Amino acid sequence: MLNNTIRNSIYFIVFVVLQVLLFNQISFFKVATPFLYIYFILKLPEGTSRSLVVFYGFLTGLSIDIFSNTPGMHAAAATFAGLVRYPLIKRLTTKDMVETAAPSFYSMGAGGYTRYVVFFVLLHHAALLLIESFTLFDPLYLIIRILASSALTIILLLAIEGFNYEVLKSEE
């Protein structure tokens, strides 16, 4: 339990700092920005209560908002992501996960984890970018931004997870 708490605290701090200092500055062709801070919410253990996941989502988003001067956008989107996390895990995986297991290639299988990440990121990014644009004036540009930012985030998150998986395999 303490090990999970320490790991989650490190994930929180590292990904909030990286998002604020590095990833917020990246914008490919003004359409794709990676939002890797959601990795913290993705990796919370399966047995974490839904209300705690929603609270952690809000806290993560609020931290990004405070340091990025974005009034509540990330807090709202990350809270929404925390809300849909549990139903996504249940719907998209066939493996029974141990309550203390964090979602990963190892605990969910590569296909299950990849599906989980794709849908989670798409939902989060759709919420975030809809809130950010606050209009449906140019829906094609909005859809392109959602898909491009999601693709970039998914690729980076799966690369991070692949690295973590290799580290875990080498420790066994």
Residue 1, pLDDT score: 55
Give residue-wise pLDDT tens across range 12-42. Answer: 999 999 889 988 888 888 889 999 999 999 9
Beta partners for residue 103, in sequence order: none
DSSP string, 36-69: GGGHHHHTS-TTS-HHHHHHHHHHHHHHHHHHHT
Q: Domain of residue 108: give its range.
A: 2-171
| Confidence tier at 116 by pLDDT (50, 70, 90) | very high
Count of structural domains, the chain: 1
Integer angstrom CA distances of residue 62 from 16, 38, 76: 10, 12, 8
Exposed/middle/buried for 26, CB within 10 Å: 0-12, 13-18, 19+? exposed
Residue 94, pLDDT score: 65
